[in-house]
Chains A and B, each alone.
Chain A
Amino acid sequence: MYSVLAGALALLAILLAWPVPQALAGARWVTRAPRMAVCLWQTIGLAGGVSAIAALLLLGFAPLGRAWTLLNLAALVLAALLFSWLTGVLITSAVRIERDLRRQRAAVDLLTSPDVDGVLVLEHPEPVAYCVPGPHPRIVVTAGAIAALPPDELAALLAHERAHAQGRHELVIQPFVAWQTALPFLAPARWATAAVADLVELLADDAAAEATSRMAVARALARVGAQRSPAGGVRTASNSVLSRVQRMSAPLPDRTAGTVGTVAGAGPGAAAAELRAADRAGL
């Protein structure tokens, strides 16, 4: 009985480790329901880890034959190792990220004085905006971004960053980064991190569109993307900025009719699919 259950859990763990993330990474609907997609990724990650550990525990405590064998001991040791490895990496990753953030906060606090909206303006010509997350988040915008954008697009950009700050998106991404670090040989961990990182951008785009307009978000993205110094030599996973512009420019999907915007198809799915292709080429 125990071994049947253990087998079922092991099967679940295997499904969640490869085929299920593969399907989600290739799914096209995710750009229309980014929140749902993020929840699914979180469920896959958590359930995958729990089922793998639970399968090993069951195998360890339930003798396959009559006697308790070396196999049982090996399963228990593996379960303990896997659990402590996953939690250990999660904690060290959180500590490292917090240290990076503390350095960022200290630097931006020294370099800028907050304006009325609590936005910090960094004197740099390159148009860049980012959010230093935390309980007291900082939204940093360069002088270059302010100079490059008309007021409505600047408002869209700031609304996007506020959405990151208020949604605590860094907490959504962090476990996936840790998961990827903990299991470097597991390609789906990489796809998951890439997909979730793109999905939170879509969430922030949607929030910014709500606060301003889809057009303002699209144009702000295109303008900032076009003026950034290109990532020379660095292989970018996808045309994620371009696909976000297209997603914001496309007409809103008609939910009642169930038809979907076709232009908006290239999103995190495309990013993950391309990463997958890169993995295959690398193998």
Chain B
Amino acid sequence: MARLGELERAVMDVLWNTPEAVPATRIVEELPREHTPAITTILTVLDRLGAKGFVTRERAGRAYRYSATTSRAELIVATMLEALGTTTDRRSALVHFAGSVSAEEQSMLRAILNSGEAGD
């Protein structure tokens, strides 16, 4: 299971680093040498990534060409926004360390840190 997760990350890294859609065989070539899995394994991984919405494929002749649906940077931003609950008004089940902070609150927090009231 952990191995499959690692492979998914490795495959996504290949797709994020190649601007154009690529066939699965090319992905196998691009993978780091230490894990050169069978092509069937890569196809399974690509199916799983497709089901999760991270990968799309298009037919090219007899095979498929795969590409990432978003860039890595875009996915990071989307994940963060969702985690912070700014994309929807409903409360997310994710509990984060410091919730939304108003500008006045921030200046008071800075004052506390500078005055050393909360420590030192």
The residues of A with any CB-CB pair to B shorter than 8 Å are: 97, 100-101, 103-104, 106-111, 113, 122-124, 126, 128-133, 140, 142, 145, 157, 160-161, 164, 169-170, 173-174, 177, 181, 193, 197, 200-201, 204, 215-216, 218-226, 228, 230-231, 234, 236, 239-242, 245, 248-249
Contact = CB atoms under 8 A, between A and B. Distances in A.
11 contacts: A110-B8, A111-B75, A122-B76, A124-B80, A145-B97, A201-B99, A224-B98, A230-B102, A241-B98, A241-B105, A245-B109
Interface of B: 5-6, 8-9, 12, 52, 54, 72, 75-80, 82-84, 86, 90-106, 108-110, 112-113, 117-119
Contact of A122 (B80, B102, B113, B117): B80
A22 B19 CA distance: 57
Q: Which of B72, B78, B84, B94 has the most CB of A within 10 A?
A: B94
A111 B76 CA distance: 7
Contacts of B80: 122, 124, 126, 128, 142
B119 A225 contact: no
A219 B113 contact: yes
Consensus secondary structure, chain A interface: helix
Contacts of A108: 79
A170 B94 CA distance: 7
A203 to B, nearest CB: 10
Of A103, A173, A225, most buried by chain B (CB within 10 Å of CB) is: A225
Contacts of A200: 95
Most-contacted residue by chain B among A110, A200, A218, A239 (CB, 10 A): A110
Contacts of A145: 97
Contacts of A101: 93-94
A221 B79 CA distance: 22
A106 B48 CA distance: 11
3 A-B pairs with the lowest CB-CB distances in the bound complex, closest first: A130-B96, A231-B100, A218-B118
Nearest to B9: A110
A236 to B, nearest CB: 5
B102 A130 contact: no
A157 B96 CA distance: 10
Given A126-B80, A240-B99, 15 more contacts: A110-B8, A110-B12, A111-B72, A130-B83, A130-B97, A145-B97, A170-B93, A215-B118, A222-B110, A223-B113, A225-B109, A226-B106, A230-B102, A230-B106, A239-B102
A231 B94 contact: no
A245 B104 CA distance: 15
A228 B95 contact: no
A87 to B, nearest CB: 19
B9 A113 contact: yes
A104 B98 contact: no
Contacts of A225: 98, 101, 105-106, 109
A248 B109 CA distance: 13
Contacts of A161: 97
B14 to A, nearest CB: 12
B111 to A, nearest CB: 9
A228 B93 contact: no
Contact of B91 (A123, A193, A241, A249): A193
A3 to B, nearest CB: 40
A201 B12 CA distance: 35
Most chain A CB neighbours (cut-off 10 Å) among B6, B86, B99: B99
Contacts of A222: 109-110, 112-113, 118
Contact of B103 (A111, A122, A230): A230
A157 B72 CA distance: 26
Nearest to B91: A177
Contacts of A123: 76
B97 A129 contact: yes
